[in-house]
């Protein structure tokens, strides 16, 4: 029996050697001896989750596990490091056939690289017994491996800027299908018309970890060509979603400002399918805005960057602003205007317009509407994911934002709102220094003690390259980027919000709400959960001082007996 073939024997035998590498205080990477153990451990924890388990993301050599609390993470770490998976869980996947037209641009080149020729490559690829091992890169992208990989093919020297949706490709010992138009460096063998990601299905992803995959050669035909319009639609935010009722009570966008997005608390637990949680970048501020107008914490709000957003009321509404240090201006139809304060509920009467002022400090302002905003949900959330394109797109002028629940339905005709609140925290402006606590790991050993010292003893500058995916930091004048003490490449592994990923330039990127599910650069540390809201408010020109917040001695990196 090969290493990847799911075992059929009863549970038992020695535990494989695994290392626990903490990633923040509520999660850790389980470093496994091989991909076979990754798949078995992932299948076991999916079928039998640990107490408080929130997310599992399998990768080539690791499983990322996150939890609802530090205590739950501590309890699980001790158990998982020596866990012997139930062998039956690994064989519970489906068998999925993927029809392939083998006419890819790199098919002949792969034939030459492998010495198999075109026909040999097609035969080897289609006859291999593939398994869906782990997801990542994009929703629906699944890394497939085989018991006996038919070949080991290097990536292209120059990645393509746009690989078409449905492209069947190989790289290293893996095979995959690109679910959407995206850049990529894999070698293209052919194409399939089967959508790998389709939100109209009960299970949007065609493949899930543990599934067996058969690539079936078919002849080219009109029905197997991927429609050109699907490529254009692949980058749109759920273009087929129903439009809002333009006459419903709520708000109308008069001016979207620089960038305004609907957000809520996101869609968690889908990392294995390549879907990050997304949601409000500063979740604490979004919760505060909802609290001020009397909403529950999960209602959708508008997240806007650097002011300029203008919203006109349809019917009398109650709103509140939170997050960045931004006030607002309410203008009546006759031109009369008055200011409104941040972090206090206020009325916006029918036909009156709120304009969010440019913040004096911070970056993102949250506008909450009493009753919530009623936009279509995608995978249980109204959040706009700027990386994958899931959820609604950026707000546009004239767009209706209907109120989800009538105010009178909340309190027998009495509108209950919150009291004014103080700021959640000091908010940085350009030139200010923000202090963020960071937990070293999971790959701080790639930089050594000197790297951690450099990380925490110089003030890093927030560059103009800042968005919802991450904040790129640059070394200050007289400072220096981080230097690796380990060489080589790191296999892609699960990443969390707050991770400080370090590319070869040595200048860290602080992951925010729309970060990739997996990353291939080492993460030197993870910003403490309590400081993630502050991280989301860092404007270009601000500075960051990292204070090391080590994992307590009770939870060092743990390695099980061999």
| Helix ranges restricted to H, 347-503 | 448-457
Cβ atoms 260, 253 nearer than 8 A: yes
**What pLDDT, on the 0 to 100 scale, is given for residue 224?**
42
Q: Average pLDDT for residues 40-69, to the nearest whole number?
A: 94
**What pLDDT, on the 0 to 100 scale, is given for residue 561?**
33
Cβ atoms 340, 330 nearer than 8 A: yes
Retrieve residue 141's tokens. Answer: 């992208």
| Helix ranges restricted to H, 203-301 | 228-234, 283-292
Residue 437 forms beta bridges with which residues?
547
Kindly tell me if the per-residue pLDDT of 345 is higher than 90: yes
Distance of CA 200 to the CA centre of its chain: 21
Q: How far apart are CA 165 and CA 180, in angstroms?
A: 4
Q: How far apart are CA 395 and CA 308, in angstroms?
A: 12
What is the reported pTM?
0.88
**What pLDDT, on the 0 to 100 scale, is given for residue 237?**
55
Q: Which regions of the chain carry the CATH code 3.30.1360.40?
A: 19-91
**Closest to 515 (Cα-Cα) out of 504, 501, 530, 534:** 501
**Beta pairing class for 460-466 and 558-559:** unpaired
Question: What are the tens digits of pLDDT across the range 184-206?
Answer: 999 999 999 999 999 999 889 99
Give the confidence band of 557 by pLDDT, cuts at 50, 70, 90.
Answer: very low
| Helix ranges restricted to H, 250-282 | none
**Beta pairing class for 167-171 and 174-177:** antiparallel
3-class DSSP assignment, residue 157: coil
Kindly tell me if the per-residue pLDDT of 417 is higher than 90: no
| 56 or 229, which is more confident | 56
Question: What are the tens digits of pLDDT across the range 378-408?
Answer: 999 999 999 989 999 999 999 999 999 875 5
- Is the dihedral angle over the CA atoms 379, 516, 169, 224 positive or is it negative? positive
Q: How far apart are CA 62 and CA 361, in angstroms?
A: 40
Q: How far apart are CA 264 and CA 277, in angstroms?
A: 10
Residue 268 forms beta bridges with which residues?
none
Question: What are the tens digits of pLDDT across the range 240-267?
Answer: 444 556 678 999 999 999 999 999 999 9
In CATH, the number for domain 96-234 is 2.40.100.10
% residues pLDDT > 90 (the chain): 75
**What pLDDT, on the 0 to 100 scale, is given for residue 235?**
44
**What pLDDT, on the 0 to 100 scale, is given for residue 92?**
60
**What pLDDT, on the 0 to 100 scale, is given for residue 8?**
34
> Angle formed by the axes of helices 107-114 and 117-127, to 10°?
90
Residue 97 forms beta bridges with which residues?
214
Residue 167 forms beta bridges with which residues?
191
% residues pLDDT > 70 (the chain): 88
**What pLDDT, on the 0 to 100 scale, is given for residue 240?**
42
Q: How far apart are CA 308 and CA 306, in angstroms?
A: 7
Give the confidence band of 88 by pLDDT, cuts at 50, 70, 90.
Answer: low
What is residue 316's DSSP assignment? S
Kindly tell me if the per-residue pLDDT of 283 is higher than 80: yes
Kindly tell me if the per-residue pLDDT of 424 is higher than 70: yes
Q: Average pLDDT for residues 151-157, to the nearest whole number?
A: 90
Judged on CB neighbours under 10 Å (0-12, 13-18, 19+), 481 is: middle
Buried b (16+ CB within 10 A) or exposed e, 170-192: bbbbbbbbbbbbbebebbbbbbb
Cβ atoms 392, 267 nearer than 8 A: no
- Which CATH number does the domain 433-558 belong to among 3.40.50.920, 2.40.100.10, 3.40.50.1000, 3.40.190.10? 2.40.100.10
DSSP H or E stretch at residue 40: helix 35-47
User: For residue 280, what are the CA distances in angstroms to 33, 153, 495?
Assistant: 37, 40, 18
Q: Average pLDDT for residues 493-519, to the nearest whole number?
A: 95
Q: 19-91: what fold?
A: Gyrase A; domain 2 (3.30.1360)
Q: Which regions of the chain carry the CATH code 2.40.100.10?
A: 96-234, 433-558
- Is the dihedral angle over the CA atoms 121, 122, 127, 133 positive or is it negative? positive
Question: What are the tens digits of pLDDT across the range 115-135?
Answer: 999 999 999 999 999 999 998
Retrieve residue 417's tokens. Answer: 């709102």
As a whole number, the mean pLDDT across the chain is 89
**What pLDDT, on the 0 to 100 scale, is given for residue 4?**
40
Give the confidence band of 93 by pLDDT, cuts at 50, 70, 90.
Answer: confident
Q: Average pLDDT for residues 53-79, to the nearest whole number?
A: 94
Kindly tell me if the per-residue pLDDT of 555 is higher than 60: no
DSSP H or E stretch at residue 301: strand 301-305
Give the confidence band of 228 by pLDDT, cuts at 50, 70, 90.
Answer: very low
């Amino acid at each position: 029996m090969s290493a990847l073939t799911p075992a059929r024997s009863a549970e038992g035998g020695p535990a494989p050697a695994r290392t626990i590498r903490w990633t923040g205080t509520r999660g850790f990477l389980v470093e496994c001896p091989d991909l076979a153990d990754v798949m078995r451990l992932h299948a076991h924890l999916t079928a039998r989750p640990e107490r408080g388990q929130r997310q599992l993301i399998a990768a080539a050599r690791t499983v990322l596990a996150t939890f609802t609390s530090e205590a739950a993470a501590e309890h699980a770490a001790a158990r998982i490091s020596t866990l012997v998976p139930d062998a039956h869980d690994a064989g519970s996947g489906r068998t999925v056939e993927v029809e392939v037209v083998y006419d890819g641009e790199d098919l002949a080149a792969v034939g030459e690289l492998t010495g198999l020729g075109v026909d040999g490559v097609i035969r080897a690829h289609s006859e291999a017994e593939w398994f869906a091992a782990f997801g990542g890169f994009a929703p629906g992208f699944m890394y497939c491996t085989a018991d006996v990989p038919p070949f080991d093919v290097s990536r292209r020297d120059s990645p393509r800027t746009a690989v078409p949706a449905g492209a069947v490709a190989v790289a290293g010992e893996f095979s995959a299908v690109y679910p959407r138009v995206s850049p990529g460096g894999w070698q293209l063998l052919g194409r399939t018309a089967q959508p790998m990601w389709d939100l109209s299905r009960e299970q949007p992803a065609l493949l899930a970890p543990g599934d067996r995959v058969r690539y079936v050669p078919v002849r080219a035909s009109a029905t197997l060509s991927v429609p050109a319009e699907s490529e254009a639609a692949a980058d749109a935010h759920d273009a087929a979603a129903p439009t809002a009722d333009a006459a419903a009570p709520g708000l109308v966008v008069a001016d979207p400002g620089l960038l305004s997005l609907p957000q809520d608390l996101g869609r968690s637990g889908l990392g294995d399918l390549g879907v990050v949680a997304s949601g409000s970048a500063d979740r604490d501020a979004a919760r505060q805005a909802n609290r001020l107008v009397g909403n529950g914490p999960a209602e959708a709000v508008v997240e806007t960057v650097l002011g300029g957003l203008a919203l006109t009321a349809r019917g009398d509404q109650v709103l509140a602003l939170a997050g960045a240090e931004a006030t607002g201006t309410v203008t009546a139809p006759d031109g009369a205007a008055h200011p409104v304060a941040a972090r206090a509920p206020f009325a916006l009467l029918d036909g009156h317009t709120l304009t969010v002022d440019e913040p004096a400090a911070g970056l993102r302002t949250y506008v909450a509407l009493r009753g919530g905003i009623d936009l279509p949900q995608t995978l249980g959330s109204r959040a706009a994911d700027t990386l994958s394109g899931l959820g609604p797109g950026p707000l546009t002028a004239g767009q209706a934002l209907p109120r989800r629940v009538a105010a009178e339905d909340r309190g027998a005709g009495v509108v209950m709102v919150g009291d004014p609140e103080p700021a959640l925290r000091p908010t940085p402006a350009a030139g200010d220094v923000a202090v963020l606590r960071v937990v070293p790991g999971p790959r701080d050993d790639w930089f050594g003690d000197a790297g951690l010292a450099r990380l925490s003893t110089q003030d890093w500058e927030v560059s103009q390259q800042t968005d919802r995916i991450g904040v790129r930091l640059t070394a200050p004048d007289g400072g220096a980027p981080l230097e690796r003490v380990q060489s080589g490449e790191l296999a892609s592994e699960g990443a969390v919000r707050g991770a400080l990923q370090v590319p070869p330039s040595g200048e860290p990127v602080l992951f925010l709400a729309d970060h990739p599910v997996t990353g291939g650069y080492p993460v030197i540390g993870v910003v403490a959960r309590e400081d993630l809201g502050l991280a989301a408010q860092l404007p270009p020109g601000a500075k960051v001082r990292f204070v090391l917040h080590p994992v307590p001695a009770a939870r060092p990196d743990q390695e099980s007996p061999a």
